[in-house]
Amino acid sequence: MSFTHGPSADFCAALGLSIPIVQAPMAGAGGTALAKAVQSAGGLGSLPCATLSLEAIESGINDCLNRADETNAAIAAQGSRPPLNVNFFTHSAKPENPNAQQRWQQRLADEYHALSIDPQAAGNTKAASRSPFNESACELIEANPPAVVSFHFGLPDAALVKRVKAAGCQVWSSATTVTEAVWLEAHGADAIIAQGFEAGGHRGLFLDPQTGEEITDDHIGLIAHQVGTFSLLPQVVDAVQLPVIAAGGIADGRGIAAALALGASAVQIGTAFLFSQEATITPMHRQALQQGSPENTALTNVFSGKPARSVVNTLMQRVGPMSQSTPPFPTAATALAPLKTQAETENKADYSSLWSGQSAQLANQLIDRCLSAESNRIQDTDCPSATHLVNWLAADATQTLKQLARIS
């Protein structure tokens, strides 16, 4: 693609990208290696920080912004910052709620019993925690500012948003509704990620679709109002003046072309990168993605307390996919930790989140096609690098656009 026309051309020019592909930040599933592999192919690499310590965030940013790196040096020579998006959650961390934890443990009683786990010990196993963006994280950003700082679940306090922008970073956030997109524009966002229903992982949902108020309780009825990419994307494009990045269900060139048709300036791709060699997921997770069909994923709140899309597994079937019994985000993970740990030692993902969008098969098939076509040139035929993946996505999109051009 040459991208000499339209909003995607402006988007790429502003960030020094050669292709309008943003690698979705996926907490726990990818780190600096993934971000750098995408950067080197001309896309925007993303560093997810929700589960990282401050030290790990700092080292990750330094690694990705390193101007000794060939790609970064070339971009710096053009006057742009290295193409890095540093991503944070912005949920309001709630105080511990022992009653809610107890209710959740009771709901899981049959599961503990099945694995012969003492429920009393459940609180002792450490689960991955998720911290919201705060003062300390903001200081790290100010010290070494990336091109983009993106947020999930709304935006942090206005004072922190102001500081991030003052550091010269673009501020992005996800909208799952038109209402959220309009709110984000009014509160200082520089671009909107329109996150359709198809997307894997956590829904960015932060405003009640009925009242427009911030969500204080992730009640399960909210997901009935969530909006598919096909419908959300053009309506967000119409509702705001900002560039809109399409997310949810995009995993091959057809999806990229369709997103551009619907008015997107760029696409954010997540699940497809879980197939890359830089992804840090378990073999069980990778296997679930390879075998999945779109209807074999569901929105579920059982892993964290907030709705997120995962490949369906035992826990989701028995307790969910949506449960009234989960404690506030992110503390549902605490009581699950011993179940997850024990099942994983037996190579079972019965209690592990298997985040996936609805288009995993599209990525799987694109990779199969490209690997068989290029097998002479690529060494690791089982698992391509994210750099290859970006190149294949771009080539596939070009092909779709050329086919479309013959119709009109």
> For residue 196, what are its two tokens?
């359709």
132 phi and psi angles, rounded to 5 deg? -75, 160
Q: How far is the CB of 113 from a copy of itself (least distance, A)?
A: 23
Q: Which residue, 261 or 373, has its beta carbon nearer to a copy of itself?
A: 261
Q: Is 86 in the site for a copy of itself (CB under 8 A)?
A: no
Tell me how far apart the alpha carbons of residues 361 and 345 are, in angstroms, rounded to a whole number. 27
According to CB under 8 A, which one of 228, 280, 347, 380 is a site residue for a copy of itself?
A: 228
- Minimum CB distance to a copy of itself smaller for 5 or for 377: 5
Min dist. Cβ of residue 237 to a copy of itself (A): 8
- Among 264, 350, 290, smallest CA distance to 12 is for 264
The stretch among 50-58, 96-104, 317-325, 381-389 that binds a copy of itself (CB under 8 A) is 317-325
Closer by beta carbon to a copy of itself, 119 or else 230: 230
Stated as kind and residue range, the H or E segment containing 219 is none
209 binds a copy of itself (CB under 8 A): yes
Q: Does 369 bind a copy of itself (CB under 8 A)?
A: no
Residue 297, CB half-sphere, CA atoms under 13 Å: how many? 32
Of 158-197, which residues contact a copy of itself (CB under 8 A)? 176-179, 196-197
Q: Is 109 helix (H, G, I), strand (E, B) or coil?
A: helix
Interatomic CA distance for residues 189 and 236, integer angstroms: 13
Q: Is 405 in the site for a copy of itself (CB under 8 A)?
A: yes
Distance CA 181, CA 239 (A): 8
Alpha-carbon gap, residue 310 to 352, rounded angstroms: 9
- Letters for 31-70 (x = contact with a copy of itself by CB under 8 A, - = none) are ----------------------------------------
Rg of the chain taking only CA atoms, in angstroms:
21
Q: How far apart are CA 291 and CA 397, in angstroms?
A: 24
Site for a copy of itself in 235-274 (CB under 8 A): 235, 238, 248-250, 252, 254-255, 257-263
Please report how close the Cβ of residue 362 comes to a copy of itself at its closest, in angstroms. 6
Q: Taking the complex as a whole, how short is the minimal distance between the CB of residue 7 and a copy of itself, in angstroms?
A: 10
Subset of residues 277 to 316 that bind a copy of itself, contact rule: CB under 8 A:
293-300, 312
Nearest to 370, CA basis, from 350, 348, 387, 346: 387
Smallest separation (angstroms) from a copy of itself to the CB of 283: 23
Q: Which residue has the tokens 């907030």?
A: 306
